[in-house]
Chains A and B, each alone.
Chain A
Amino acid sequence: MNQTWVQLAYLAAALCFVLALKGLSSPKFARRGNALGAIGATIAVVVTLVAEDFDHMPAILVAIAIGTVFGVPAARRVQMTAMPQLVALFNGVGGGAAAIVALVEFLSAGQDAGFGELTASAFTVLVGSMSFSGSVITFLKLQGLMTSRPVVFPGMQVLLPLTALVSVGLAGAVIGTQSISMIYALAAVSLLLGVLFVLPVGGADVPIVISLLNAATGVAVAASGFVLDNVLLLIAGTLVGASGTLLTLLMAKAMGRPIGSTLFGALSGSSSLGGGEASDRPVKSLGPSDVAVMLAYAERVVIVPGYGLAVAQAQGALKELVDLLGERGVEVSYGIHPVAGRMPGHMNVLLAEANVPYEQLKEMDEINPELPATDVALVVGANDVVNPAARTPGTPISGMPIINVDQAQSVVFLKRSMRPGFAGIENELLFDPKTQLLFGDAKDTLSQTVTALKSL
């Protein structure tokens, strides 16, 4: 195939990627945007396959088939609650692929490579490997295969920067000596760096790290574009790197967490992550049947779902409760905090999956004016997003917008325990006279409430 046509096809693919990102930023065009991205990627791959008379063509096609056989069912079957870790895993293999591409190009080009290409190769191997191992740790944390709490061990404050310095040093050695053993060493140390980088991050901050590693893989792909002299990889990687960086900052802002304390908070000992102790101050607790009565005789109920709902997979039970209340003429709506769930927007996905009608879902700014006229605010597995401490300065969540459930006539919390939320600060609202708590797994307590409600 003529090289000009290849470049034009790459241009078309690059345009598709720009429009895909643009579409994904607006609710109306998001799905079309994603489809456009897929079209662009398909164009790019097909054109690459036919552009040159490659060796090993059967093996290449088999490898693509194997990747598809792994990727598609995983993406189709994954539970929506498990989706963040799948995205992390996909991001990891992408980063790993970029690192390997640069490594193989280094092995084959050898002595012919110029300074620019060598620098780009070393950079791609470093960032790609780090993104790979970091994403794998993120996956293990979210999948519950290791603790989701920050992991810090003595000496980590020294080891992390030291590892970073060694990997930069090895990258310099790769560029200077063009030694093959040096680039393998660089890959190994970068893998370690990714692990050390993600270990101290825990809880609600993990999604921000996924987004950051996503941007990192984008940057690695862009650098591989320099290595291979391939414009499409350069453009696509840079687009993802830039938009991913901005998205990471937007996410951190929506969660009210500065990016620095997100990443290194646990290391400096000033972690504000879910380490808090359970308080032994007295609270008012009640049983499922009490909750059923309260809700059944209320006029207006607002439900504030949070991370705990997602963990307990209780969205189905919650919808059943809301439907029963609706039949009794109780006016029910959901107040969705922008960062409820595991990632921004995650709660909307979870509730939509449980077939909750879209018009019952109200965003924070929409629901807040309605709360003073609300009889019962039912908080299901949420804590920080309703913590009035956000309004007072000097707390880890100060300035974060919250849902003002404290303005409702009465508040019921469904909670597993008195453990504070991810921000690790106590919620004064739990001790308020108008607040009552129903302890237990949200799915169990909601089902019991439904049963109690049916027998009323």
Chain B
Amino acid sequence: MDGVALLTIFVLSIFVGFEVVSKVSTILHTPLMSGANAIHGVILVGAIIVAGHADTGVELWLGLVAIVMATVNMVGGFVVTDRMLQMFRPRQSAAKGSDA
């Protein structure tokens, strides 16, 4: 893809990124940060590509290290975010639970 097309996508993504989180409530700052953290774990895609194209031993080993690191970021990130969010039970169902 040519540079200008990539630049277009880049600029539009900045605006989308700002827009989607602009109304976040304070109690969700921590889970949101953790979820966003998991999303950049998708660098795993890049790590797979460079490891899969590696021609030398150094490139392969570095690529494999990157895969391990990216996987930890991605998988661990989504799991820990889910654990945080499990704690947030909606007010309604919590109230119902205590009434019963």
Contact = CB atoms under 8 A, between A and B. Distances in A.
Interface residues of B, number: 84
B18 to A, nearest CB: 5
Interface stretch (A78-86, A190-198, A386-394): A78-86
Interface centre among A21, A30, A57, A71 (most CB of B within 10 A): A71
A22 interface: yes
A184 to B, nearest CB: 11
Contacts of A359: 91, 94-95, 98
A90 B38 contact: yes
A398 interface: no
B72 A103 contact: no
A22 B47 CA distance: 27
A67 B69 contact: yes
B85 to A, nearest CB: 4
A235 B13 contact: yes
A217 B9 contact: no
A263 interface: no
B87 interface: yes
B40 to A, nearest CB: 5
Nearest to A13: B42
B88 to A, nearest CB: 6
Nearest to B25: A27
A419 B89 CA distance: 36
A84 B68 CA distance: 21
Given A98-B46, A104-B63, A218-B40, A231 B30 contact: no
Contact of A344 (B26, B49, B68, B70): B26
Given A41-B42, A75-B83, 11 more contacts: A18-B20, A24-B35, A25-B23, A25-B25, A31-B85, A45-B44, A101-B50, A108-B56, A217-B37, A217-B40, A352-B87
Interface of A: 13, 17-18, 20-22, 24-28, 30-31, 33-35, 37-38, 40-41, 44-45, 48-49, 52, 54-57, 59-60, 63-64, 66-68, 70-72, 74-76, 78, 80, 83-84, 86-87, 90-91, 93-94, 96-98, 100-101, 103-105, 107-108, 116, 207, 210-211, 214, 217-218, 221-222, 224-244, 246-247, 250-251, 254, 338-339, 343-346, 348-349, 352-353, 357-359, 363
30 contacts: A17-B42, A20-B35, A26-B28, A37-B78, A56-B60, A71-B73, A71-B77, A74-B76, A87-B33, A90-B37, A90-B41, A94-B41, A98-B40, A104-B63, A108-B53, A211-B33, A214-B33, A214-B40, A217-B40, A230-B45, A234-B9, A239-B17, A240-B40, A242-B16, A246-B18, A247-B29, A247-B33, A343-B29, A344-B30, A352-B87
